[in-house]
Amino acid sequence: MVGPEAFLWLSLGLFLIGTLGFLTRRSIIIMLISIELQLNAVNLLLVSLSHYLQDPRGQVLVLFVIPVAAAEAAIGLAILMALFRLKAAAHVEQIKEMRG
């Protein structure tokens, strides 16, 4: 049997990969995908702890994280589309109007 520590390790690894992708990639689409990876790492931790602690609240919380992830993806991609129409830019370095 696999204990809860193994799921903590797996979730930590997935979250760190998502953070690394968000911080290093130039493409805004892949940055949004990295945020999805981070949210999935948290979901995995919630489901596994809900299983080992025999408590439904973890799974209920996952059901609230999923709509927020969907809303974030929809708004993020809509902002990307508006930006692309304005500047034809899909990379973070091309957006530098706020630079002092």
Q: Can you give the binding site for another protein, defined by CB under 8 A?
A: 1-2, 4, 6, 8, 10, 12-14, 16-21, 23-27, 29-30, 32-34, 36-37, 40, 43-44, 47-57, 59-60, 62-64, 66-75, 77-82, 84-85, 90-93
Nearer to another protein, 50 or 100 (CB): 50
- Shortest approach of another protein to residue 16 CB, angstroms? 6
Question: 54: part of which helix (H) or strand (E)?
Answer: none
The distance of Cα 1 from the centroid of its chain, to the nearest Å, equals 29
Q: Are 26 and 91 in contact (CB under 8 A)?
A: yes
Residue 97, CA distances (Å) to 12, 13, 87, 100 in order: 35, 35, 11, 8
Nearest to 31 by CA among 20, 16, 43: 20
- Shortest approach of another protein to residue 22 CB, angstroms? 8
- Shortest approach of another protein to residue 80 CB, angstroms? 7
Long-range contacts of 82-87 (CB under 8 A, 24+ apart): 83/28
Nearer to another protein, 25 or 100 (CB): 25
- Shortest approach of another protein to residue 47 CB, angstroms? 5
